[in-house]
């Protein structure tokens, strides 16, 4: 690693929670050079890390470029005919999102799980030209939204895993529905999209709330998109206590997969607000804060699964 600008820190505790290195991990020497401690895929030697920690080392380093190459190679090889250049931006954004997730202290198991689902979801997008066109339009017009959607998708699939849902098609549909949850925003005027929702007039607020139905209608018109996926899109802002929109549905009427995506969306929104305010909480702290603020607005089983995941270090 030669360039200081392209290195990112990672706490030694996070590295300690991994069994294998998800990417090359370096230690910074007193003369500021970087020494490779663990190579990608190699086991993490915990006693060795503990020795460094005892000497006062709190941080390890990774190379942004190496991480990006590793994830691009993995996502690119997902399709038999090689990477689709039109989805290059999605790959790049995925790299950024997985990078953020590791820095939030996510567990190795969850990281690998989300990565595997990401790969499948990308394949689904690639196979349906109409779907990938809609997604391309979305990522070109609203790249920030795509970063947000990728993070919701990763978190929702991790949560589905925590719910002990094991049917692969369910997990894939959650991943895809979460990735596309805000695709209806394509139909919104820029001035509404760029305004803080709290500052919108009641009329504009209604227009914003229309993105759920707009998204459903874009996707339900595509033959390859399963009903579960567009129901996630239609219901992702509904809340169990009926306080959501557009229909104010109560819990039992909300699609089961949308209940999971709804809370993942809320956790990511909290993360983004924190980032804007210059704060960086761990994934655990974000989940705890979301539950403390609004557990009653979400499905009880989903809340219980999150609590269990917190208790068993699933993040």
Contact residues: Fe ion, CB under 5 A: 182, 265
Q: What is the smallest separation between the CB atom of 72 and Fe ion, expressed in angstroms?
A: 25
Task: For residue 129, give both structure tokens.
Answer: 């030209």
Read off φ and ψ for residue 189, nearest 5 degrees: -70, 145
Pairwise CA distance, residues 204 & 193, whole Å: 10
Q: How far is the CB of 67 from Fe ion (least distance, A)?
A: 25
Q: Name the CA dihedral angle for 111, 113, 119, 120, rounded to a multiple of 10 degrees.
A: -160
CB of 95 to Fe ion, least distance (A): 20
Q: Judge residue 193's burial from the number of C-beta atoms within 10 Å of its C-beta, 0-12 exposed, 13-18 middle, 19 or more buried.
A: middle
Which of 83, 121 has the CB closer to Fe ion? 121
Q: Reduced to 3 states, what is the DSSP secondary structure of residue 276?
A: helix
105 or 184: whose CB is closer to Fe ion? 184
Q: Decide whether 108 or 269 has the Cβ nearer to Fe ion.
A: 269
Q: How far apart are CA 274 and CA 98, in angstroms?
A: 18
* Smallest separation, CB 211 to Fe ion (Å): 6
Q: Which is nearer to Fe ion, 182 or 251 (CB)?
A: 182
Is residue 2 packed enough to be buried (19+ CB in 10 Å), middle (13-18) or exposed (0-12)? exposed
- Least distance to Fe ion from the beta carbon of 31, Å? 45
Q: Which is nearer to Fe ion, 164 or 191 (CB)?
A: 191
């Amino acid at each position: 690693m030669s360039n200081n600008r392209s290195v990112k820190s990672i706490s030694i505790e996070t590295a300690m929670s991994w069994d294998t290195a998800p990417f090359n991990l370096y230690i910074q020497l007193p003369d500021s050079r970087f020494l490779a401690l663990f190579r990608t895929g190699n086991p993490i030697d915990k006693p060795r890390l503990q020795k460094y920690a005892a000497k006062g080392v709190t941080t390890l380093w990774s190379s942004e470029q190496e991480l990006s190459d590793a994830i691009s190679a993995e996502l690119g090889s997902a399709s038999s005919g090689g990477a689709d250049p039109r989805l290059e931006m999605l790959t790049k954004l995925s790299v950024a999102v997985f990078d953020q997730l590791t820095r939030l202290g996510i567990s190795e198991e969850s990281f690998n799980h989300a990565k595997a689902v990401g790969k499948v979801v990308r394949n689904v997008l690639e196979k349906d030209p109409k779907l990938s066109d809609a997604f391309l339009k979305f990522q070109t017009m609203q790249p920030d939204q795509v970063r947000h959607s990728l993070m919701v998708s990763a978190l929702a699939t991790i949560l589905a895993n925590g719910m002990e849902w094991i049917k692969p098609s369910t997990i894939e549909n959650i991943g895809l529905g979460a990735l596309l949850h805000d695709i209806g925003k394509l139909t919104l005027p820029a001035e509404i999209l760029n305004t803080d929702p709290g500052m919108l007039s009641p009329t504009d607020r209604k227009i914003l709330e229309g993105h759920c139905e707009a998204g459903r209608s874009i996707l339900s018109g595509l033959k390859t998109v399963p009903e579960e996926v567009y129901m996630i899109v239609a219901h992702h802002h509904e809340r169990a206590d009926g306080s959501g929109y557009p229909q104010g549905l109560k819990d039992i009427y909300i699609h089961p997969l949308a209940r999971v995506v709804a809370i993942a969306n809320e956790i990511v929104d909290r993360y983004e607000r924190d980032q804007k305010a210059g704060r960086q909480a761990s994934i655990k702290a974000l989940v705890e804060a979301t539950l403390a603020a609004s557990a009653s607005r979400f499905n009880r089983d989903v809340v219980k699964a999150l609590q269990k995941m917190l208790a068993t270090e699933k993040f």
